[in-house]
Amino acid sequence: MPHKILRKRKLAHLVHDFVVEAPLVAEHAKPGHFIVVRLHEHGERIPLTIADVYPEEKAFRMIVRAVGKTTYELCMMKEGDEILDVVGPLGKPSEIEKYGRVLLIGGGVGIATLHPIAKALHEAGNEIISILGGRSAEYVIMQEEFKKFGEIVITTDDGTLGMKGVVTDAMEYLVKERGEKFDVAWAVGPTIMMKFAALKGKELGIPKVWVSLNPIMVDGTGMCGACRVTVGGEIKFACVDGPEFDGYQVEWDELMRRMTQYKKKEEEAFKRFLEKVGDVSWL
Protein backbone atom coordinates (compact mmCIF):
# COMPACT_ATOMS: atom_id res chain seq x y z
CA MET A 1 0.00 0.00 0.00
CA PRO A 2 1.51 3.40 -0.92
CA HIS A 3 2.07 5.89 1.89
CA LYS A 4 1.12 9.51 1.35
CA ILE A 5 3.37 12.36 2.49
CA LEU A 6 0.90 14.47 4.47
CA ARG A 7 3.31 17.27 5.39
CA LYS A 8 6.88 18.22 4.62
CA ARG A 9 9.04 21.13 5.75
CA LYS A 10 12.68 22.06 5.46
CA LEU A 11 14.54 22.18 8.79
CA ALA A 12 18.03 23.02 7.51
CA HIS A 13 20.04 22.78 4.30
CA LEU A 14 19.49 19.14 3.12
CA VAL A 15 17.44 18.25 6.24
CA HIS A 16 13.69 17.69 5.81
CA ASP A 17 10.88 16.85 8.24
CA PHE A 18 8.11 14.54 6.92
CA VAL A 19 4.76 13.34 8.24
CA VAL A 20 3.82 10.14 6.41
CA GLU A 21 0.61 8.12 6.49
CA ALA A 22 1.21 4.57 7.81
CA PRO A 23 -1.51 3.24 10.16
CA LEU A 24 0.45 0.22 11.45
CA VAL A 25 3.53 2.30 12.26
CA ALA A 26 1.41 4.94 14.01
CA GLU A 27 -0.31 2.27 16.08
CA HIS A 28 2.68 0.16 17.13
CA ALA A 29 5.78 2.42 17.19
CA LYS A 30 7.72 2.87 20.42
CA PRO A 31 10.75 5.13 21.08
CA GLY A 32 13.86 3.62 19.47
CA HIS A 33 11.98 1.92 16.63
CA PHE A 34 12.76 2.53 12.97
CA ILE A 35 11.23 1.77 9.57
CA VAL A 36 12.67 0.66 6.24
CA VAL A 37 11.37 2.60 3.23
CA ARG A 38 11.48 1.93 -0.50
CA LEU A 39 10.46 4.95 -2.52
CA HIS A 40 9.48 3.23 -5.77
CA GLU A 41 9.67 -0.06 -7.67
CA HIS A 42 13.39 0.35 -8.52
CA GLY A 43 14.31 1.97 -5.22
CA GLU A 44 16.84 0.87 -2.63
CA ARG A 45 15.62 0.05 0.88
CA ILE A 46 16.88 2.46 3.55
CA PRO A 47 16.31 2.59 7.33
CA LEU A 48 15.00 5.76 9.01
CA THR A 49 14.04 6.47 12.62
CA ILE A 50 10.45 7.06 13.67
CA ALA A 51 10.84 10.55 15.17
CA ASP A 52 7.25 10.81 16.46
CA VAL A 53 3.76 9.41 15.85
CA TYR A 54 0.39 11.08 15.24
CA PRO A 55 -2.23 8.36 15.96
CA GLU A 56 -5.16 10.65 15.11
CA GLU A 57 -3.79 11.03 11.56
CA LYS A 58 -2.54 7.40 11.40
CA ALA A 59 0.83 8.90 10.54
CA PHE A 60 4.43 9.09 11.74
CA ARG A 61 7.24 11.61 11.53
CA MET A 62 10.68 11.10 10.02
CA ILE A 63 13.53 13.59 9.68
CA VAL A 64 15.84 12.93 6.80
CA ARG A 65 19.26 14.28 5.92
CA ALA A 66 20.12 14.01 2.23
CA VAL A 67 23.51 12.26 2.01
CA GLY A 68 23.26 10.04 -1.10
CA LYS A 69 20.99 8.88 -3.91
CA THR A 70 17.96 7.61 -1.98
CA THR A 71 17.90 10.28 0.72
CA TYR A 72 18.21 13.02 -1.97
CA GLU A 73 15.35 11.42 -3.93
CA LEU A 74 13.26 11.31 -0.76
CA CYS A 75 14.02 14.91 0.19
CA MET A 76 13.00 15.99 -3.33
CA MET A 77 9.51 14.47 -2.87
CA LYS A 78 6.61 16.82 -2.15
CA GLU A 79 3.50 16.87 0.02
CA GLY A 80 0.91 14.56 -1.55
CA ASP A 81 3.54 12.29 -3.17
CA GLU A 82 3.49 8.62 -2.21
CA ILE A 83 6.21 6.32 -0.87
CA LEU A 84 5.81 2.76 -2.18
CA ASP A 85 6.77 0.73 0.95
CA VAL A 86 7.13 1.53 4.62
CA VAL A 87 8.07 -1.56 6.66
CA GLY A 88 7.99 -1.39 10.45
CA PRO A 89 8.17 -0.60 13.25
CA LEU A 90 11.47 -2.51 13.40
CA GLY A 91 14.16 -3.00 16.05
CA LYS A 92 14.02 -3.14 19.82
CA PRO A 93 12.47 -0.19 21.64
CA SER A 94 14.57 1.96 23.99
CA GLU A 95 14.76 0.90 27.65
CA ILE A 96 12.62 3.64 29.13
CA GLU A 97 12.30 3.80 32.91
CA LYS A 98 12.69 6.27 35.75
CA TYR A 99 16.48 6.49 36.07
CA GLY A 100 16.72 9.88 37.79
CA ARG A 101 19.04 12.31 36.01
CA VAL A 102 19.52 11.64 32.32
CA LEU A 103 21.97 13.22 29.87
CA LEU A 104 20.92 13.21 26.21
CA ILE A 105 23.52 13.93 23.53
CA GLY A 106 22.39 14.47 19.95
CA GLY A 107 24.47 15.33 16.90
CA GLY A 108 23.09 16.47 13.52
CA VAL A 109 20.15 14.41 12.33
CA GLY A 110 20.72 12.10 15.34
CA ILE A 111 18.82 14.76 17.31
CA ALA A 112 15.67 13.50 15.51
CA THR A 113 16.36 9.91 16.60
CA LEU A 114 16.74 11.17 20.16
CA HIS A 115 13.42 13.03 20.14
CA PRO A 116 10.99 10.15 20.91
CA ILE A 117 13.43 8.82 23.53
CA ALA A 118 13.56 12.25 25.22
CA LYS A 119 9.77 12.52 25.15
CA ALA A 120 9.32 9.07 26.76
CA LEU A 121 12.03 9.64 29.39
CA HIS A 122 10.42 12.97 30.28
CA GLU A 123 6.99 11.34 30.60
CA ALA A 124 8.58 8.67 32.85
CA GLY A 125 9.59 11.44 35.28
CA ASN A 126 13.33 11.76 34.59
CA GLU A 127 15.24 15.03 34.93
CA ILE A 128 16.82 15.68 31.55
CA ILE A 129 19.68 17.81 30.26
CA SER A 130 20.16 17.67 26.47
CA ILE A 131 23.31 18.54 24.58
CA LEU A 132 22.48 19.36 20.95
CA GLY A 133 25.44 19.62 18.60
CA GLY A 134 25.86 20.61 14.97
CA ARG A 135 28.42 21.83 12.46
CA SER A 136 26.88 25.33 12.64
CA ALA A 137 23.75 27.04 14.02
CA GLU A 138 21.54 25.92 11.11
CA TYR A 139 22.13 22.23 11.85
CA VAL A 140 21.09 22.36 15.50
CA ILE A 141 17.54 21.21 14.85
CA MET A 142 14.53 20.81 17.19
CA GLN A 143 15.78 23.22 19.90
CA GLU A 144 12.28 24.35 20.93
CA GLU A 145 11.05 20.75 21.10
CA PHE A 146 13.92 19.71 23.39
CA LYS A 147 13.45 22.75 25.67
CA LYS A 148 10.12 21.19 26.70
CA PHE A 149 12.05 18.28 28.29
CA GLY A 150 14.55 20.35 30.33
CA GLU A 151 17.72 22.42 29.91
CA ILE A 152 19.49 22.35 26.56
CA VAL A 153 23.19 23.02 25.98
CA ILE A 154 24.15 23.78 22.39
CA THR A 155 27.53 23.23 20.75
CA THR A 156 28.58 24.18 17.22
CA ASP A 157 31.87 23.32 15.54
CA ASP A 158 32.21 26.90 14.21
CA GLY A 159 30.85 28.72 17.30
CA THR A 160 27.85 30.23 15.42
CA LEU A 161 25.56 29.14 18.29
CA GLY A 162 26.16 28.06 21.89
CA MET A 163 29.56 26.73 22.95
CA LYS A 164 32.23 26.56 20.24
CA GLY A 165 33.29 22.93 20.18
CA VAL A 166 31.87 19.45 20.06
CA VAL A 167 29.41 17.56 22.26
CA THR A 168 32.14 15.99 24.38
CA ASP A 169 33.26 19.52 25.41
CA ALA A 170 29.73 20.14 26.71
CA MET A 171 29.82 16.79 28.57
CA GLU A 172 33.04 17.91 30.32
CA TYR A 173 31.54 21.32 31.10
CA LEU A 174 28.43 19.82 32.70
CA VAL A 175 30.20 17.17 34.78
CA LYS A 176 33.53 18.82 35.64
CA GLU A 177 32.65 22.54 35.83
CA ARG A 178 29.05 22.37 36.99
CA GLY A 179 29.36 19.17 39.01
CA GLU A 180 26.30 17.57 37.39
CA LYS A 181 25.81 13.85 38.00
CA PHE A 182 23.94 11.54 35.64
CA ASP A 183 22.49 8.06 36.12
CA VAL A 184 22.47 7.22 32.41
CA ALA A 185 23.06 8.87 29.03
CA TRP A 186 22.00 8.42 25.41
CA ALA A 187 24.27 9.57 22.57
CA VAL A 188 22.88 9.57 19.02
CA GLY A 189 24.56 11.01 15.96
CA PRO A 190 27.38 10.26 13.53
CA THR A 191 29.30 7.09 14.47
CA ILE A 192 32.47 8.99 15.29
CA MET A 193 30.51 11.27 17.65
CA MET A 194 28.92 8.30 19.43
CA LYS A 195 32.31 6.61 19.83
CA PHE A 196 33.83 9.68 21.49
CA ALA A 197 30.71 10.41 23.58
CA ALA A 198 30.94 6.85 24.94
CA LEU A 199 34.66 7.24 25.72
CA LYS A 200 33.99 10.57 27.44
CA GLY A 201 31.02 9.12 29.35
CA LYS A 202 33.26 6.39 30.74
CA GLU A 203 35.97 8.89 31.69
CA LEU A 204 33.38 11.08 33.47
CA GLY A 205 31.93 8.14 35.40
CA ILE A 206 28.49 8.02 33.77
CA PRO A 207 27.28 4.44 34.50
CA LYS A 208 25.97 3.75 30.98
CA VAL A 209 25.84 5.50 27.60
CA TRP A 210 23.29 4.07 25.18
CA VAL A 211 24.06 4.63 21.50
CA SER A 212 21.88 4.09 18.42
CA LEU A 213 23.98 2.42 15.74
CA ASN A 214 23.48 3.06 12.04
CA PRO A 215 25.30 0.35 10.10
CA ILE A 216 24.25 -0.49 6.53
CA MET A 217 20.90 -2.30 6.67
CA VAL A 218 19.19 -4.17 3.86
CA ASP A 219 16.25 -6.35 4.95
CA GLY A 220 15.92 -5.01 8.50
CA THR A 221 14.75 -8.41 9.78
CA GLY A 222 17.96 -10.21 10.83
CA MET A 223 18.22 -12.34 7.67
CA CYS A 224 20.86 -10.72 5.45
CA GLY A 225 23.67 -10.05 7.94
CA ALA A 226 24.44 -6.58 6.50
CA CYS A 227 24.10 -4.84 9.85
CA ARG A 228 26.43 -7.15 11.82
CA VAL A 229 28.19 -5.43 14.74
CA THR A 230 30.29 -6.72 17.62
CA VAL A 231 29.08 -5.73 21.08
CA GLY A 232 30.68 -7.07 24.25
CA GLY A 233 32.63 -9.59 22.14
CA GLU A 234 29.41 -11.05 20.69
CA ILE A 235 28.03 -10.77 17.18
CA LYS A 236 24.77 -8.83 17.05
CA PHE A 237 22.50 -7.68 14.24
CA ALA A 238 21.65 -4.04 14.76
CA CYS A 239 18.24 -4.36 13.05
CA VAL A 240 16.85 -6.98 15.46
CA ASP A 241 19.17 -6.83 18.52
CA GLY A 242 19.41 -3.00 18.37
CA PRO A 243 19.75 -0.40 17.02
CA GLU A 244 20.48 0.73 20.61
CA PHE A 245 23.42 -0.83 22.44
CA ASP A 246 25.64 -0.14 25.44
CA GLY A 247 28.20 2.28 24.00
CA TYR A 248 30.93 0.98 26.33
CA GLN A 249 30.69 -2.46 24.68
CA VAL A 250 30.62 -1.56 20.96
CA GLU A 251 33.62 -2.37 18.76
CA TRP A 252 33.66 1.03 17.12
CA ASP A 253 36.58 0.64 14.73
CA GLU A 254 35.12 -2.51 13.15
CA LEU A 255 31.77 -0.74 12.74
CA MET A 256 33.38 2.25 11.04
CA ARG A 257 35.31 -0.01 8.66
CA ARG A 258 32.15 -1.92 7.70
CA MET A 259 30.19 1.28 7.09
CA THR A 260 32.55 2.38 4.32
CA GLN A 261 32.61 -0.95 2.44
CA TYR A 262 30.24 0.21 -0.37
CA LYS A 263 31.55 3.79 -0.48
CA LYS A 264 32.77 3.60 -4.10
CA LYS A 265 29.48 2.13 -5.38
CA GLU A 266 27.46 4.67 -3.40
CA GLU A 267 29.51 7.54 -4.82
CA GLU A 268 29.06 6.23 -8.38
CA ALA A 269 25.27 5.86 -7.91
CA PHE A 270 25.10 9.37 -6.45
CA LYS A 271 27.12 10.84 -9.33
CA ARG A 272 24.80 9.21 -11.92
CA PHE A 273 21.80 10.49 -9.96
CA LEU A 274 23.12 14.08 -9.89
CA GLU A 275 23.81 13.99 -13.65
CA LYS A 276 20.18 12.98 -14.18
CA VAL A 277 18.46 15.47 -11.85
CA GLY A 278 20.70 18.52 -12.33
CA ASP A 279 20.86 21.35 -9.78
CA VAL A 280 19.97 20.30 -6.21
CA SER A 281 21.43 23.30 -4.39
CA TRP A 282 17.88 24.41 -3.37
CA LEU A 283 17.34 21.26 -1.28
Query: Site residues (CB under 6 A) for ligand FAD?
Result: 34, 44, 46-49, 62-65, 67-71, 109, 112-113, 214-217, 243, 259, 263, 266, 270
**Residue 183 CB: number of other CB atoms within 10 A?**
15
Choose among 135, 69, 125: nearest CA to 102.
Answer: 125
Which of ligand FES, ligand FAD, none binds 231 (CB below 5-8 Å, type-dependent)?
none
Choose among 61, 67, 78: nearest CA to 142.
Answer: 61
Coil vs helix vs strand at 55? helix
Sequence-distant (≥ 6) Cβ neighbours of residue 223 within 8 angstroms: none
**Residue 2 CB: number of other CB atoms within 10 A?**
11
Residue 24 is a binding residue for ligand FES (CB under 6 A): no
For ligand FAD, give the closer residue by CB, 176 or 280: 280
Residue 243 is a binding residue for ligand FES (CB under 6 A): no
Choose among 247, 278, 240, 195: nearest CA to 36.
Answer: 240
For ligand FES, give the closer residue by CB, 150 or 222: 222
The Cα 72–Cα 92 span in angstroms is 27
For ligand FES, give the closer residue by CB, 204 or 227: 227
At closest approach, how far in Å is the CB of 251 from ligand FES? Answer: 17
Residue 222 is a binding residue for ligand FES (CB under 6 A): yes
**Residue 129 CB: number of other CB atoms within 10 A?**
21
Binding residue (CB under 6 A) for ligand FES from 18, 237, 245, 252: 237
Q: Which helix (H) or strand (E) holds 189?
A: none
Which of ligand FES, ligand FAD, none binds 69 (CB below 5-8 Å, type-dependent)?
ligand FAD
At closest approach, how far in Å is the CB of 83 from ligand FES? Answer: 19
The Cα 227–Cα 8 span in angstroms is 29
At closest approach, how far in Å is the CB of 215 from ligand FAD? Answer: 6
At closest approach, how far in Å is the CB of 209 from ligand FES? Answer: 23
For ligand FAD, give the closer residue by CB, 51 or 128: 51
Residue 43 is a binding residue for ligand FES (CB under 6 A): no
Which of ligand FAD, ligand FES, none binds 113 (CB below 5-8 Å, type-dependent)?
ligand FAD
Chain centroid to Cα 64, Å, comes to: 9
Closest CB to ligand FAD: residue number = 68
DSSP 98: -
